[in-house]
Amino acid sequence: MSGWLGGWLLLCAAGVLATLGAALWRVWRGPARADRMMAAQLVGTGGVAVLLLLAPAQGWAALDVALVLAILAALAAVGFVKASTPDGAGAPEEADAPADPATDSARGDRDVA
């Protein structure tokens, strides 16, 4: 793609790449694991955006790479949530649940003899 549209897309891609520097800083410095994970998600989203902007100029195969990057970013978020829970079930609200046997029997977690 040539002309003003190709130049505009390349300029937008360069702008998105420049803003990813802030996200990479947050991944590196953190304050918490959740902040780092959200910044990593932003990097994944920015990478998809750059690939979509470059696809007309560099070749449409970049769309396949963008799709794979989006899927990997989503799977990374699922893995983070599952790793952040005490039992690995992926339900963060369970960490705050009271350890009351009456509550457990109401949910059906208790064996009835």
Mean pLDDT of the chain, nearest integer:
78
Q: Could you report the per-residue pLDDT of 40-62, keeping only the tens digit for each? A: 888 889 999 999 998 888 888 88
Please tell me which residue, 91 or 73, carries the higher pLDDT value: 73
Helix (H) or strand (E) holding 84, with range, is helix 62-84
Q: Can you list the alpha helix ranges (DSSP code H) found in the chain?
A: 4-29, 33-58, 62-84, 101-107
Q: Which amino acid is at 25?
A: W
Domain boundaries, the chain: 4-88
pTM summary value: 0.66
Those residues with Cβ within 8 angstroms of residue 76's Cβ, 6 or more apart along the chain or in another chain: 37, 40, 41, 44
Q: Could you report the per-residue pLDDT of 61-74, keeping only the tens digit for each? A: 889 999 999 999 88
Please tell me whether residue 113 adopts helix, strand or coil conformation.
coil
Model confidence band, residue 88 (pLDDT cutoffs 50, 70, 90): low
